[in-house]
């Protein structure tokens, strides 16, 4: 009969062995995990401007090649000026809170859209995504929500194409060029908002009012961060800001 001491020694050896194996695996896999995170970010930046389809599988190299061809990563300061020689992954959030990443969607030498990271609290989780803005500095070109813990079938619908397509063509400034952001209504915009005022409203998700409120709230916060930059773009345009 084995003694209790032998049993404890055996259990200790097994525990230590498993711990070492798990620690080793985590260390070995960490670079790959970091690479996957960076690749997912690139994929969602591309998705925000319609360069990739959410329902299609892409090879790693396809994403890398498209990103290298179409996306230029920049950093801007609080005055909306581009910080030369600095990239988003070089920003230290602890000491450089005045610096913000922004991405340009390039078609040759032409800028087709600007892309900014968006994030904030929904109902159950922090929601992450990207918002693409037309070169006019006021019109939404696309949006993607790619990471969240909202309820499937309810708040989780923010990840669906039908919901994200609602944002395209909407303006986040009023006729005077002031930031109003994008507001998610409870129900359908057509049923609640007069036709001439629908430019910054989108349809809500049935049963997900609180998630919609959270998205509305953090979109305005995120757009406020970049408002100086986009205001400069708007000032470069002639005529009425929104017609």
Helix (H) or strand (E) holding 128: strand 126-133
- For 123-162, how does the pLDDT look when each residue is reduced to its tens digit (9 = 90+)? 898 999 999 999 999 999 999 998 788 888 888 888 889 9
Which tokens belong to 119?
């994030």
The closest of 150, 145, 146 to 124, measured between CA atoms, is 150
Q: Report the pLDDT value the prediction gives residue 24, as an integer from 0 to 100.
A: 66
> Cβ(192)–Cβ(209) under 8 Å?
no
Token representation of residue 36: 């996957």
Cβ 68 vs Cβ 44: under 8 Å:
no
In the predicted structure, residue 19 carries a pLDDT above the cut 80: no
Q: Write down the residue that tokens 């939404």 correspond to.
A: 140
Nearest Cα to 237, choosing from 107, 139, 142? 139
The predicted structure's pLDDT at residue 240? 43
Inter-residue contact 216 to 201 (CB < 8 Å): no
Model confidence band, residue 241 (pLDDT cutoffs 50, 70, 90)? very low
User: The tokens of 155 are what?
Assistant: 């708040």
**Residue 57's pLDDT is what?**
85
Half-sphere exposure of 143 (CA within 13 A, CB side): 26
pLDDT at res. 242: 40
Rounded to two decimals, what is the model's pTM? 0.82
Q: Does 71 score more than 60 pLDDT?
A: yes
pLDDT of residue 208: 85
Cβ atoms of 158 and 128 closer than 8 Å: no
Higher pLDDT, 205 or 105: 105
- For 31-41, the pLDDT digits (tens) are 666 777 888 89
Q: Please state whether beta strands 100-107 and 201-202 pair in parallel, antiparallel, or not at all (unpaired).
A: unpaired
Spatial separation of the C-alpha atoms in residues 100 and 115, rounded to whole Å = 12
Q: How many CB atoms lie within 10 A of CB 232?
A: 13
What 3-state DSSP class applies to 56?
coil
Within 13 A of 57's CA, how many CA atoms are on the CB side?
A: 1
- Residue 2: alpha-carbon gap to chain centroid: 59
Query: Helix, strand, or coil here: 120?
Result: strand
Give whole-number Cα distances, 117 to 41, 46, 104, 121, 211, in Å.
Answer: 10, 12, 12, 14, 18
Average pLDDT of the residues in 158-177: 92
Query: What are the residue ranges spanned by the domains of the chain?
Result: 45-235
Q: What is the pLDDT of residues 83-96, one digit of tens each?
A: 999 999 899 988 99
Closest-CA residue to 181 (of 146, 151, 226): 226
CB atoms within 10 A of CB 141: 21
């Amino acid at each position: 009969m084995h003694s209790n001491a032998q049993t404890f020694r055996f259990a200790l050896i097994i525990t230590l062995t498993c711990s070492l194996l798990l620690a080793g695996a985590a260390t070995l896999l960490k670079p790959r995990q970091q690479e996957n995170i960076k690749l997912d970010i690139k994929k969602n930046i591309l998705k925000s401007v319609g360069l990739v389809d959410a329902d299609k599988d892409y090879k790693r190299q396809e994403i890398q090649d498209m990103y290298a061809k179409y996306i230029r990563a920049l950093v801007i300061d609080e005055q909306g000026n581009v910080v030369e020689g600095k990239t988003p992954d070089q920003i230290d959030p602890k000491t450089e809170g005045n610096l913000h990443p922004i991405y340009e969607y390039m078609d040759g030498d032409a800028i087709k859209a600007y892309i900014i990271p968006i994030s904030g609290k929904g109902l159950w989780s922090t929601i992450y995504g990207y918002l693409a803005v037309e070169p006019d500095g006021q019109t939404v070109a696309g949006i993607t929500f790619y990471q969240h813990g909202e309820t499937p079938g309810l708040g989780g619908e923010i990840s669906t194409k039908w919901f994200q397509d609602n944002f395209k063509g909407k303006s986040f400034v009023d006729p005077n060029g002031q930031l109003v952001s994008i507001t998610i209504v409870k129900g359908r915009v057509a049923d609640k908002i007069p036709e001439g005022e629908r430019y910054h409203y989108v349809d809500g998700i049935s049963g997900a009012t609180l998630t919609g409120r959270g998205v509305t709230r953090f979109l305005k916060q995120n757009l406020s961060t970049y408002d100086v930059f986009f205001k400069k773009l708007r000032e470069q345009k002639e005529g009425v800001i929104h017609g």
